Amino acid sequence: MLSSPLLVLTLLCLSVVLCEWLVRHTVLKHVSTALLVILFVAVLANVGLLPSASEGSVIYTGIFRYLAPLSIFYLLLDVNLASIRRAGAPMLLLFALGSVGTVLGVIAGMWLIDGATHFGDLYPAISGMFTGTYSGGSVNFNAVALHYEVMEEGVLYAGMTAVDNIITAIWMIVTLAVPLLLRRGRPARRQETPVTAAEVERTRESISVISLGLLLGIGLGSLLIAGWLADWCESLGVTVPSILILTTIALVLAQLPAVQRLSGTQVVGLFCVYLFLAVIGAFCELAALGQIGALAWRLLALVVTIVVVHGALIFGVTALGKLDVDTAAVASQANIGGSSSALALAKSLDRMDLYLPAILVGSLGNGVGTYLGFMVAGWLG
């Protein structure tokens, strides 16, 4: 077993690099980097090449405490609220409707599987995590998980991530098929929206020494301030999660032109996310798999119920109101899969006019999903 902190961190970084390469260049492109990182590092931990959860590591502790919150912070720096209006009223309305459907789906799903009994103390947290992730993406999923320390239940967390990835992939197929069924031969209504290549895709970013230094300084400083404010609120008898304060700080900073001009936020944020997920993989001890066995089908039933209620509401209103079904599909995918999935769907539907709106509402989901997740978790707690 490699117990040296430097060796552990080296293996984690190389694991992220390898998994990203495999997703980009091999048949594993149909598997998300996030899930592949979890599975790969889980194998390393279970064969003794990395410390497991029970053995622990100072690197794991540091990533949970500092890097995971920073990953959320950096990804949120791309949320420009002023530009959201460019998505258009129908897209924003359907996206909001989809978020309502997600909340209703979580409530219905937890009632169906008796989540309060089977998930115990984690019942509110799991409800909030799925509310967040199906309102705009995994950034929200991780934000709620961090506050409630769900990531320490490595096997359960990995199972939730796997179910999430499976259903998200299936939902992509659904949102491709539904427009074809509801359209019934009618051409889709198109609305021209100015789109630039930079706004559509940011899969590659260059980053300068100045940008990197500013990003690190702003991120670490904001993390420190969020901790101070959370402690201050606690001294007043009010509990406010520090991750929620950090989210708010990120959203405020994201509106500043100087911050918007910084390059590398997505690259730094995603790498931090993947390192966080790598540690989640190390927490997946095979010896503990039996602990989630009985919960596996309940997790699946929960997530299926969420997306069914969400889909029934958003597509039902679309059909009744005779709205553009392509717009509804992209809005739904922005809820369930985030901006990248919504963009991929818009491309598949050959709706270039929906490219930018897909990214904008996906960014909006990153901003509001955490609040919705904590709202539901707090209500059920």
Given a contact cutoff of 8 angstroms between Cβ atoms, the answer to whether 311 and 172 are in contact is no
Alpha helices in 67-153 (DSSP H): 68-76, 89-113, 115-118, 123-133, 138-148
Q: E strands within 46-86?
A: none
Distance CA 56, CA 64 (A): 12
Given a contact cutoff of 8 angstroms between Cβ atoms, the answer to whether 325 and 179 are in contact is yes
Q: Tokens 């500092």 — which residue?
A: 66
For the chain, what are the domain ranges? 5-188+206-380
Which has the closest alpha carbon to 368: 251, 253, 269, 276?
A: 251
Q: Is 75 helix (H, G, I), strand (E, B) or coil?
A: helix
Distance CA 71, CA 77 (A): 10
Given a contact cutoff of 8 angstroms between Cβ atoms, the answer to whether 87 and 375 are in contact is no
Instruction: Give the pLDDT of the chain (381 residues) as one tens digit per residue.
Output: 567 889 999 999 999 999 999 988 988 876 678 778 888 988 898 888 888 766 778 898 888 888 888 887 887 887 777 776 776 888 999 999 999 999 999 999 999 999 889 888 899 999 999 999 999 877 788 888 888 888 777 778 878 877 886 787 788 788 888 887 766 555 555 544 444 444 444 445 678 899 999 999 999 999 999 999 989 998 988 877 787 788 889 889 988 999 988 888 888 888 888 888 788 778 766 655 555 667 778 888 999 999 999 999 999 999 898 888 999 999 998 898 877 678 668 877 778 778 778 877 877 887 788 899 999 999 987
What does the buried/exposed string (b/e) look like for 318-355 if buried means 16 or more CB atoms within 10 Å of the residue's CB?
Answer: beeeebbbbbbbbbbbbbbbbbbbbbbbbeebebebbb
Given a contact cutoff of 8 angstroms between Cβ atoms, the answer to whether 134 and 335 are in contact is yes
Please tell me the class of the 5-188+206-380 domain: mainly alpha
